[in-house]
Chains A and B, each alone.
Chain A
Amino acid sequence: MAERVMMKGNEAIAEGAIRAGCRFFAGYPITPQNEVPEYMSRRMPEVGGTFIQAESEVSAINMVYGAAGAGARAMTSSSSPGVSLKMEGISYAAGSELPCVIVNVSRGGPGLGGLTPSQADYFQATKGGGHGDYRLVVFAPASVQEIIDLMYQAFVTADKYRTPAMILADGLLGQMMEPVTLPEDKDLQIPAKPWATTGMINGKPQSIINSLGLVGEELEKINVRLQKKYQEIAANEVRFAEEDVKDADLVIVAYGTSARVAKSAIDKARAEGKKVGLFRPITLWPFPSKPLSELAKSGKRFLTVEMSVGQMVEDVKLAVNGQAQVDSFGKLNGTIPSVNEVYDAIIKSFNSQGVA
């Protein structure tokens, strides 16, 4: 059986990627994700991969663009301000349909913000950030073990749909250590990439990696194809976890670190006989709208818990579509919400009159 080891979230991001077959990493130093490039710089040479400390975030994502276009499993990682800089390249990768993984170990903003954990990049991750009608598949781990598991899933999904995927973590997940079970070395069965620019060897037709559609109809065609792909992803790749939801009157919707804090607060409320449950989106896009809508139909009320003013709450409201009351607890960047703060929000929401 695989050994249990203690690992820092950031190291798990790197090791999880390597075990998922990632062989190209380009990044730039920024707190709180520095252990990712540091780990990669040691580890990549061991597996015959490439590590580059890029001159900028912009260059890093464009190196990933080149490497992904050449057929490699490639990734970059950064934190909020750095991810903003990468948005150009991410839009290009989406438009050129390049599978790659971008990790955001997010911190507080706006601007230079701070170094403390934050979830204020939800909009940026799930609703564009870069220009154009594109989507990223966004995974939100809530533990170091889940980081390992989702790194693998991110690369698989990216390859399956030829699309960039993002891991949206935060400074707490990046910095904390937890025991993890590392996956055994397995045959990764990375799909063939005949579209990659590997040279026109042995009669391979010309490969062009491109997001340009100068003629209007051409661009429309590209976008129609992209949207069709996104619909397919939305139909097949939704992930979420539920705990104590069945008998719950109030369902807390939270992801990542917030879900961890919410879980502790829920346990406290449950101990007092309050029927509260946890709904944890694991993919932030595609968002688990359907299961939430069904919960709303069955008469449950909702409270979102986020480390931001409240961003995901908009998606919850869209999903619930007026069928149930949706309250929001948002902790503004700077500190992580305490269990008691979330507990108080739960009690307040629990005792309020539902409008449903």
Chain B
Amino acid sequence: MILESIFAGFGGQGVMLMGQLLAYSGMHEGKNVTYFPSYGPEMRGGTANCSVIVSDDPVGSPVISELGILVAMNRPSMEKFEAMLKPGGMLFYNSSLIDVKPKRTDIKAFAIPANDIAIELGNIRVANMVIMGAILKAAGVVKIDTVMKVLTETVLTGKKKDLVGINRTALEKGMELGA
């Protein structure tokens, strides 16, 4: 098994966190993983992306060559990376912010109104977790329990402890949409 993914969006939408969650979870499940963020002026411009590979075998190139999962949190991200998806690849896009449909017909596209759901849940910042939930369901690459473990042990520590509940709810909400 090898899964190559890109998470892309505005700065502040938590795309780096999503990528790291997947990478950490893969590691905890004994898989080989690489995580590579965009850096430098790319980040200053307000858009960010990261590449994550999860594999049973050691990862050769950490650069994406067969894109299996694309997360687009905003429209520029979808426009930039959609063409890279391999046939049959999965696109998860934030339909709360992206008002166009994907061009490709040879991929599986999931329109997730992540912002709307997150606002309903009471915190816009969990929009990324809604999409994360959808990925967990649709791609099944790592388990939700592993993701929650990583979230609670490395991300939502200290003052952020109170946010564990809403993050789990967001993940579960997303899983319903990834079916």
Q: Which residue numbers of A lie inside 8 Å of B, CB to CB?
A: 4, 6, 31-32, 115, 171-172, 175-179, 257, 260-265, 267, 336, 338-340
Contact = CB atoms under 8 A, between A and B. Distances in A.
A265 B20 CA distance: 26
Contact of B61 (A4, A171, A179, A261): A261
Interface in B25-45: 27, 32-37, 39-41
Contacts of A6: 20, 23-24, 27, 33, 35
A172 B36 contact: yes
Contact of B39 (A115, A264, A339): A115
Interface of B: 20, 23-24, 27, 32-37, 39-41, 59-63, 65
A32 B40 CA distance: 7
Q: Which 7 A-B pairs have the closest CB atoms?
A: A264-B60, A115-B40, A263-B60, A177-B35, A339-B65, A261-B61, A264-B61
A177 B65 contact: no
B1 to A, nearest CB: 14
A171 B36 CA distance: 10
Given A4-B27, A6-B35, A178-B35, A267 B65 contact: no
A178 B34 contact: yes
A175 B65 contact: no
A262 B62 CA distance: 11
A265 B35 CA distance: 20
A263 B61 contact: yes
Nearest to B27: A179
Contact of B60 (A171, A175, A339): A339
A66 B86 CA distance: 54
A31 B23 contact: no
Nearest to A180: B27
A175 B36 contact: yes
